[in-house]
Amino acid sequence: MGAPDYDIAIVGGGLVGASLASLLAAGDEPWRIALIDAVGTSAVSADYRPHFDHRCTAVSSGSTEILQRLGLWTRLRQHATAIRRVHVSDRGNLGGACIDADELRLDSLGYVLENAWLAPSLLEWAQKAPGVTSLMPMSVRKLEPGQGHVRLALVSEQGEHKSLSAALVVVADGAESPLRHALGIDTRTVDYHQSAIIANVSFTQSHQGVAYERFTGEGPLALLPLDESPHSRRAALVWTLPPARAEQLRTAEPEEFLSTLQERFGWRLGRFQRVGERHIWPLRLLMAKEQIRSNLVLMGNAAHTLHPVAGQGFNLALRDCARLAEVLVRARRQGRSPGQLEVLEDYLGRQQRDQALTINLSNQLVHLFTSTRAPHTAARHLGLLGLDLFPPIKAQFAAQTMGTAGSRARWQEGSV
């Protein structure tokens, strides 16, 4: 067989797939990229307006640096809410810990963006990037590994069939990943026996750019500030509860829901006034037992799905994308194929520590802050005190959650 039709085929045009396509296209290397998605997303409107019920994503400081270097942050920043402070508390114990951007000499600790603005902005940017061919809406029916390539059989919504080959296939089709199942890649799953209620809420006092992470005996409760002004009074709620209780509150009358939330969270934001559409997500930690094979790599939720505590899922995936782009650029300059197993092993070896630290942090926080055992209660209370009393500990914790700990991926042309 001759050269593959594409250097890289990315299956999944969501946040992760679109980000990777953009990162690869940002340099001077002439990549031939196919971006494939079963649905696709329409372009975001120039007169976009926030909506009370839009779902949101927390973008860390480290992620904004990547997006800035990509040239996309100026656009995204138009509808981003800065997180200026994170307040962490443990229900039933006085005080808590604060991580403040001013103390760390930063403009912000991160930002919150509505997915209805973030996702189409990323996809639109990727589709306009040089070397990217958008194949949407098209589904992958079959993957056939070959010698130095993978052949993909695609089908459109209208039943049109298409076949193409790529030296590297990136599987970024979500946590349930049909392709991961089709490839026979097993996963390790930790069921937290919890569900998250996702909703937006409003209150009587300004959020002042503060994000709240409150740990209760039933699970963590997070409120992320929304709307560009620090004087706004809307936040994204992620409330972790036992599944039966979560379902009960999902269907409860708004007054009952807000009253229960008030009792769990307290009065730091005044009185809760409104709750929007409520959605439930069963929570688990999922990790693919294989992230790489020859000519194949799993990315995003297909590779690892995290508990939403500390908001690490998308941010870890974006760092994975930046690291993969760095390694692939280096391999290209050395005359190696992007699908060579040794190249992908290099990527995983360089990124494995970041993955392990982030996944373990998320997992340990869940177990520590949902336990009602006295030793765990004492440990988390002392841990919160330690964050405030010992600046180096706070700085390291903040760096890991902001995605600025350790070495940064040098994915741009001329920096590898």
pLDDT, one tens digit per residue, over 288-346 is: 999 999 999 999 999 999 988 667 899 999 999 999 999 999 999 999 999 999 999 99
Residue 311 phi, psi (nearest 5): 55, 50
- Residue 337 belongs to some domain of the structure: yes
Q: For residue 270, tell me if it sits in a domain.
A: no
For residue 348, what pLDDT band results from cuts at 50, 70 and 90?
Answer: very high
Backbone angles phi and psi of 41, in degrees to 5:
-135, 140
Q: Identify whether 196 is part of a domain.
A: no
CB count, 10 Å around CB of 295?
25
The stretch 32-47 carries a mean pLDDT of: 84
Is there a contact between 60 and 104 (Cβ–Cβ < 8 Å)? no
Alpha-helical (H) ranges within 11-144 are: 15-25, 61-70, 73-76, 115-128
Residue 306 lies in a domain: yes
Domains identified in the chain, total number: 1
Three-state secondary structure call for residue 171: strand
- Residue 160: which of 139, 133, 182, 134 has the closest Cα? 139
Q: Is residue 415 part of a domain?
A: no
| pLDDT, tens digit, 9 for 90 and up, residues 149-180 | 999 999 998 899 999 999 999 999 999 999 99
Q: Which of 155-177 are b and which e, b meaning 16 or more Cβ less than 10 Å from the residue's Cβ? A: beeeeeeeebbbbbbbbbbbbeb
Query: Which segment, 22-36, 81-95, 375-389, is predicted with the most confidence on average?
Result: 22-36
Residue 320: domain span: 6-41+48-189+284-402
Q: How far is CA 352 from CA 112, 136, 346, in A?
A: 26, 32, 10
pLDDT value of residue 121: 94
Beta bridge partners of 164: 152
